[in-house]
């Protein structure tokens, strides 16, 4: 099944789909919402400047976009290189459970290796058991680090 789907770098033509997918991902993962205009502004900025983030889309043989993934890079002075973080990932509900998430992750991982990245990381909401299990299934392991935030 994964061989009938392809992944390409996203372009500004994909912006409406990426906004929709990102909004749905936030709703599903955290029950949160962002205004479409804020999402559009953030995603469009990254599509025009890959130093902010990189986006890819997955499409079927009819060229319908069925999923997306984005990644950001974080500089490590300790290791003199970039850690890559999956920032967002979304598959349409009818595309889930078919091994396609692994293909999206492989795309990011391959690009990270080409660019000499150190490691691919992601964060997942503690209550999102389905996503956690899916990430474990493709090889992610829990880190000894815990995310902390400072609310201003």
**In this predicted model, what pLDDT tens digit does every residue of 85-103 receive, in sequence order?**
999 999 999 999 899 999 9
How far apart are the C-alpha atoms of 114 and 101, rounded to whole Å?
Answer: 20
CA count, 13 A, side-chain hemisphere, 127 = 4
Q: What DSSP state is assigned to residue 103?
A: H
Band the pLDDT of 78: cuts 50, 70, 90: very high
CA count, 13 A, side-chain hemisphere, 46 = 23
- Tell me the pLDDT tens digit for each residue of 6-44: 999 999 999 999 999 999 998 887 777 778 899 999 999
**Cα–Cα nearest to 25, from 142, 140, 141, 130:** 130
Share of the chain above pLDDT 70, in %: 98
Enumerate domains of the chain plus CATH numbers.
2-137 (3.40.630.30)
């Amino acid at each position: 099944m994964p061989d009938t789907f392809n992944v390409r770098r996203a372009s500004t033509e994909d912006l409406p789909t990426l906004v929709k997918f990102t909004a749905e991902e936030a709703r599903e993962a955290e029950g949160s919402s962002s205004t479409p205009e804020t999402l559009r502004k953030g995603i469009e900025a990254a599509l025009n400047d890959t130093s902010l983030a990189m986006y890819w889309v997955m499409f079927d043989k009819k060229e319908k976009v069925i999923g997306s993934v984005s990644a950001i890079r974080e500089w490590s002075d300790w290791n003199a290189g970039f850690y890559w973080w999956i920032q967002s990932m979304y598959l349409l509900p009818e595309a889930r459970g078919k091994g396609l998430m692994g293909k999206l992750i492989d795309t990011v991982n391959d690009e990270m290796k080409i660019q000499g990245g150190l490691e691919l990381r992601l964060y997942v909401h503690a209550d999102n058991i389905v996503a956690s299990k899916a990430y474990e299934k493709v090889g992610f392991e829990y880190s000894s680090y815990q995310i902390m935030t400072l609310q201003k």
